[in-house]
Amino acid sequence: MKYQKLAEFYEQASSTTKRLEKTEFLSKFLKELSERDVMYLLEGSIYPEYDERRIGISNQLAIKAISKSTGVEGKKVIHEWKKIGDLGKVAQKLIENKKQSTLFAKSILTTQKVLENLRKLPELEGKGTVGKKLSLITELLSSASPVEALYLVRTLIGDLRIGIQESTIRESLAKTFFKDKEDSSRKVQEAIDKANDLAIVFDACKKRSFKELEKISLEVGKPIKAMLAQKVLTIADGFKALGKPCAVEYKYDGFRLIIHKQGEEIKLFTRSLENVTKQFPEVVEYIKKYVLAKSCILDSEAVGFHKKTKEYQPFQSISQRIRRKYDIEKLQKELPVEINVFDIIYYNGKSKLEEPFEKRSKLLRKIIKNHPYKIIASKQIITGDGKRAKEFYKKALKDNQEGVMMKNLKAPYKPGRRVGNMLKIKPEERDLDLVITGAEYGKGKRSGWLSSFILSCKGKKPGEYLEIGKVGTGIKEKEEQGISFGELTKKLTPLIIKEKGKSVTIKPKIIVSVTYQEIQRSPNYNSGWALRFPRFTALRPDKPLSEIADLKEVERDFSRQKRNWQYG
């Protein structure tokens, strides 16, 4: 397929914010699509979502490639970038100028060629890597039309901006190949949940058979997305939503770990599908020794504890273990973790996704040999008694955990979705996970550091992030005391996409947890809301952007807060 045709679809999709129109455009595109791997390009990627290989091109390398392919000095490219704020549009503009001033003879770019070059990028290592990467990118840009250059560069830096989400792709596949038959959308989603690979699902859909979709199954070793919970304020709210009885479990203050076991081969994945097996060698041993299964996929939470007192520690105390790839032995001694298993979604060759939670929970408690401070089945009661549930909740807080989860006993497991059959309850201290989208350089002692950080939630449009406040408290000046201004500045500097005086605009990537006193209406931020007295509590490298708070959650929290004022 000509890459121009894909670029034209990108333009169509970008021209509307209406999901139905995007679905219609994508449905027409899919009818003529024959190359399965183009499905990855629709999401701005080159591999399935579970694949760890990433294009990994920095803004700086993209600038060099634009400069080399257009003959425009690097300083001019940077100047245009600061003015426009979108490197893709910079490439589009400069290639348009080049086209007007020269004959600009070029070969026709194909999606196959784009994938071929982009897939070589993650494989390059060692001496001369930057030059080789620059050559591969420049080859594509030198053959690109202005609109092709726009989307090539956006794909390279991971910022496609066309508003196509998995749900849009699901609806388009159902519409295109099953003419919106009853249950077609659900069946396509189930296939996506199990495969986590749009190309495989596309192939099955092309055969226009539900049986082909049903053939797609979970694979041990291939990560899938974790099921997510919704928030409620009280135990009573939980029973009202779920009915009685239901399961009440500890909500652990750790990070999600999806465990895959196939014989002696163990793989560990975070909720953002990152393979962290090497970072947790002791956990691999726990699975081998204490999980009685030939093959399984377990959903769990890794919780840190003090090596001497055995007291459970907050997430922030062990978060560095997720990304560290050196000093592993030292870290596992200094920052030990306990694995708390709370669900099983595959066992000895069979998927358990559709089985009720009650049955899944009984199974995992049969196959896990509890060894406290190594691996245990999650602490759980099954009850319809509000008083007993509240006592259990207080015990969870006393054990330094976040609160409790309440779960519908009859519910299936729904990967990647925030479902109403699993609810979380935490103390009244309000908190949100948000992304940093801007910052200001500090003065005095904080000179040279970014010290005031703009926080954003997800907007109503795909890829939209709306400002909701600034945070500067809870961050330390010295690194040994916790997350510091210096550390945050180091992480954020490569993500700066625009500068104006002391203020910078930052590419949404770094997710943080914050607490706040209350939410107020505000004309100062484009969300229409502001957090009062926000305080930084943790970096969340384990969470993907898709899981930060959205505008609906902010509005819902404001409504609950208002009710509490009236009736509390």
Catalytic residues: 251
Whole-number Å distance between alpha carbons of 450 and 439: 6
- Rounded CA-CA distance 278/520 in Å is 44
Helix axes 111-120, 129-143, angle to 10 degrees: 170
Residues whose CB falls within 8 Å of the CB of residue 424, separated by 6 or more in sequence, listed in order: 229, 230, 231, 232, 251, 402, 403, 404, 405, 406
Residue pair 435/509 in contact by the 8 Å Cβ criterion:
yes
Q: How far apart are CA 259 and CA 366, in angstroms?
A: 17
CB atoms within 10 A of CB 560: 16
H-helix or E-strand spanning residue 267: strand 265-269
Question: How many C-beta atoms lie closer than 10 Å to residue 400's C-beta?
Answer: 16
Which pair of tokens denotes residue 388?
A: 């007993």
Helix (H) or strand (E) holding 39: helix 38-41
Give Cβ neighbours of residue 110 (< 8 Å, ≥ 6 apart).
1, 2, 3
- Cα–Cα distance measured from residue 9 to residue 23, given in angstroms and rounded to the nearest whole number: 12
Helix axes 184-195, 198-206, angle to 10 degrees: 140
Contacts of 426 (CB under 8 A, 6+ apart): 231, 251, 402, 403
Closest CA to 549 of 469, 431, 441, 442: 431
Q: Is residue 324 packed enough to be buried (19+ CB in 10 Å), middle (13-18) or exposed (0-12)?
A: middle
Q: Residue 337 and residue 373: Cα distance in Å, rounded?
A: 7
Question: 62, 83, 73, 78: which is closest to 151 by C-alpha?
Answer: 62
Distance of CA 25 to the CA centre of its chain: 26
Report the DSSP pairing between strands 350-351 and 337-347: antiparallel
Q: What's 106-173 look like in SS3?
A: CCCCEHHHHHHHHHHHHHCCCCCHHHHHHHHHHHHHHHCCHHHHHHHHHHHCCCCCCCCCHHHHHHHH
What is d(CA 367, CA 377) in angstroms, rounded to the nearest whole number? 9
> How far apart, in Å, do the first and last CA atoms of the chain sit?
62
Cα 50 → chain centroid: 11
